Amino acid sequence: MKTARALSLLLAIGSPAALAQAPTSPPPAAPVRPASLPPFQEAVLPNGLRLLVVESHEQPIVSMSLSFPAGRRYDPAGHEGLAEMVAGLLTKGAGGKSADEVSAAIEGVGGSIGASAGPDFLTIRADALTPNLGLAFGLMADAVMRPAFAPAELSLLRTQTLSGLKLELAQPSSLASRYFAREVYGANPYARRPVPKSIEAITRDDLVRFQRLRLRPGGALLVLAGDVSLAAARQLAAKALAGWTGAAPVATRAAAPPVRTTTDILLVHRPGSVQSNIVVGNTTFAPTDPRFYALTLANRVLGGGAASRLFMILREQKSWTYGAFSSFTRPAGIGAFHANTEVRTEVTDSALREMLTQLRRVGGEPVPAAELSAARDALVGSFPLSLQTADDVAGAVAEARLLGLPANYLATYRTRLAAVPATAVSAAAHSAIRPDRAVIVVVGDATRLYDRLKAIAPVRLVDVDGNPLPPSQLTAQAAALPLDLARLVPRNDSFTVMVQGRPFGYQRGVLERTADGLRYTEETAIPAAGVQQTTTLTLAADGGMREVHQTGKAQGQDTKIDMTYAGGRAKGSATTPGQGGAKTIAVDTTVAPGTLDDNAIQALLPALPWAAGARWTAPVFASGLGTSLTMTLAVAGEESVTVPAGTFQVFRAELTGGPQPVTFYVTKAAPFRLVKVAIAGTPIEMQLVK
């Protein structure tokens, strides 16, 4: 019977009369309504802590966030990274509990706790089921009031942070972001970024001092969202935070960002790069500026997604990049707008010109109605998805209140976006996006970019460490390395291979004198990465290359090199691993006089005349690739390095121009011993053991 009724219904729907009544176009969109959020309840506790409760009893869970004006902008000069180190350690042992005990306590009841530091605020977050809210409150209170800052945890976090920094500083996108912040903010604290030296300078006393000065109830904001009432939150806070006092830290006036009147380009020379990272932007306005809504729409049109102008033009139409985007920050102080992309070196100048054209266009002409409508619909429609959980609500409410936004900001966000007229969008873009007074940062191979970029705007040239470079240095001619082979004494060096501070393998290098020259044998084993490799090379008594032989495996694929050097030619074959399997190439090509095989560089380092500021550009043959390269080895600094073999005063030398930059750490005193090797873009280091 059910089947018969269903069939009758289908026949009725398909009848001519029914079809005639069917709508032929979608109904008009309903008016945008304010977001439906639970009411906020606020209170100020006796110790000055602001308490805000967003009460919702749909699920038995509560999310908490406790925020302080203690973000990265408050890091002391020379100790950049301090706020993040404090945040990283607050929940790694507190209130007499070790890091493992804190984790076991909260995870044992299905909750979580952690802390992070942003540009302005340090925030501790916790989630717990309602019956366990007291436990989560107690753990949060311990983290704020009684952090252990255990030396072992500090040492571990420092190692992890330094390892992460090395990876970050090797990434061209990270370099571009860092230099952009420095250029756009100048002496303002928002320009600051941690570096290895600042992380190494941080002591436990610094952590304790920062916590006592910055993590105070005065000026802090505690937000609870979920299955909790204001009365219950008051009781929990009174119990867990008993005895916690302290006025808000005295506010300090930050330096104003520089005012720009023209556009220029900071070109960061990264030798050998086959792509360029481009960032273009400028400072904008304070978080409460009424242009925020109009600029949000303008940014969506310009570069806020895969349907934006930058993405469609630079990727879909020009095929210059995998993606091009724009965004703007909204810190407590002055924000910044930026557009960014990564393109092939050959089209860097074309891509930059097109980006500047689009930045001028979005502020110089009205946005077409259809394009603006699509941007508005995307933003208005996606906003509710950002407030689906108690944690989402707690975070959004906290951010709005910390930035000084109105109490109804979240509720009216969609309606205010929907009400922005087209004229306001182009006006906001014109005032907040200033391509003719912009900061432009390009990270790439300056030898191929400098002349092209000069045609767009004045260019300032620096190396990856920010040291000014004269353009003449880009045209340095390659020459044989000035080797003093008398310094090469027989040696047997052992290195441990470290990955993020942990031993993962070893490398052993043996240099021997033969009757008519030198022989160097290098054995590398990294079991976790499936690497096992042995390389043997021979050189003539004058340092000229003779032969290179390499055998091994990498991730299950064979590696093999057999190369001879004679009569100005390199001949042989090379088998290297790849995504589709090992690939073998035949080599028979001319090489420049004085060319070294890339596998020989490490062996010959002690034979160079090391000195502060030393720099050599030499012809090198990458035998595994069958390619001639021009590589530069330059002393970038001097420092103290501690490895298993001891503590050494070293030259830090950067090798660039090859497939991957490498940093060598060579002792300042004879016999100029190599004590550490760091491979850019990876967490891998080799440290001398003996």
pLDDT at 251 (0 to 100): 83
pLDDT class for 29, splitting at 50, 70, 90? low
Beta-carbon count within 10 A of 631 CB: 22
Q: The tokens of 227 are what?
A: 């299955």
Specify the amino acid at residue 495: F
CA distance 540 to 563: 15
Higher pLDDT, 131 or 37: 131
HSE of 316, CA atoms in CB hemisphere, 13 A: 9
Residue 117 CB partners (closer than 8 Å, separation 6+)? 70, 71, 72, 83, 84, 86, 87, 123
pLDDT at 26 (0 to 100): 67
Average pLDDT score over residue span 469-475: 85
Q: The tokens of 523 are what?
A: 């054995």
Higher pLDDT, 170 or 48: 48
| Helix runs in 433-469, H state only | 446-454
- The string of DSSP codes covering 399-428 is HHHHTT--TTHHHHHHHHHHT--HHHHHHH
Specify the amino acid at residue 411: A
* Residue pLDDT, tens place only, 193-241: 999 999 999 999 999 999 999 999 999 999 999 999 999 999 999 999 9
pLDDT class for 146, splitting at 50, 70, 90? very high
pLDDT at 5 (0 to 100): 52
Q: Which of 465, 378, 395, 393 is nearest to 661 (CA)?
A: 465
Higher pLDDT, 7 or 262: 262
- The string of DSSP codes covering 473-497 is GGGPPP------GGG---EEEEEEE
Average pLDDT score over residue span 11-21: 54
pLDDT at 6 (0 to 100): 47
SS3 content of the chain, % helix, strand, coil (to 5): 35, 30, 30
CA distance 523 to 686: 13
With tokens 């190599």, the residue in question is 674
CA distance 386 to 5: 43
Q: What percent of the chain has pLDDT over 70?
A: 95
Return the CATH fold of 264-388+406-475: Cytochrome Bc1 Complex; Chain A, domain 1 (3.30.830)
CA distance 428 to 366: 11
Helices (H), strands (E): how many in the chain? 19, 29
521 three-class SS: strand
Residue 393 CB partners (closer than 8 Å, separation 6+)? 37, 38, 54, 56, 63, 225, 226, 387
Q: What percent of the chain has pLDDT over 90?
A: 76
User: Residue 619 pLDDT > 50, yes or no?
Assistant: yes
Average pLDDT score over residue span 278-286: 97
CA 444, chain centre distance (Å): 17
Conformational region of residue 149, where left means phi above 0, alpha means psi within -120 to 50, and beta covers everything else: left
* Residue pLDDT, tens place only, 423-469: 999 999 999 999 999 999 999 999 899 999 999 999 999 988 899 99
Contact between 441 and 63 (Cβ < 8 Å):
no
CA angle 272, 637, 463 (to 5 degrees): 35
CA distance 275 to 175: 13
CA distance 639 to 123: 35
With tokens 């925030």, the residue in question is 123
CA distance 113 to 208: 20
Burial class (CB in 10 A: 0-12, 13-18, 19+), 304: buried
Same fold, 40-240 and 264-388+406-475: yes
Contact between 101 and 117 (Cβ < 8 Å):
no
pLDDT class for 117, splitting at 50, 70, 90? very high
CA distance 561 to 563: 6
Burial class (CB in 10 A: 0-12, 13-18, 19+), 175: buried
Average pLDDT score over residue span 95-114: 96
Helix (H) or strand (E) holding 620: strand 615-622
Specify the amino acid at residue 134: G
* Residue pLDDT, tens place only, 477-493: 788 999 998 888 899 99
State which CATH number among 3.40.50.720, 3.40.50.300, 3.40.50.1370, 3.30.830.10 fits the domain covering 40-240.
Answer: 3.30.830.10
Beta-carbon count within 10 A of 137 CB: 24
234 three-class SS: helix
User: Residue 378 pLDDT > 50, yes or no?
Assistant: yes
Q: Which of 278, 583, 318 is nearest to 438 (CA)?
A: 278
CA distance 440 to 449: 14
Specify the amino acid at residue 483: L
User: Residue 263 pLDDT > 90, yes or no?
Assistant: yes
- C-alpha to C-alpha distances, 68 to 3, 116, 120, 406, nearest whole angstrom: 64, 11, 8, 19
Q: Which residues of 320-340 are buried (b: 16+ CB within 10 A; e: fewer)?
A: bbeebbbbbbbbbbbbbbbbb
Average pLDDT score over residue span 280-309: 97
CA distance 584 to 566: 22
CA distance 654 to 635: 6
User: Residue 19 pLDDT > 70, yes or no?
Assistant: no
pLDDT at 18 (0 to 100): 53
pLDDT class for 1, splitting at 50, 70, 90? very low
Q: The tokens of 87 are what?
A: 């945040």
Q: Which of 325, 268, 595 is nearest to 442 (CA)?
A: 268
**221-226 and 50-55: which strand pairing?**
parallel
Q: Which of 345, 372, 331 is nearest to 271 (CA)?
A: 345
Average pLDDT score over residue span 329-346: 97
Q: Which of 114, 111, 120, 32 is nearest to 72 (CA)?
A: 120
Biggest CA-to-CA distance, the chain: 104
How is the chain split into domains, by residue range? 40-240, 264-388+406-475, 485-688
The reply to whether the predicted model has a pTM over 0.85 is no
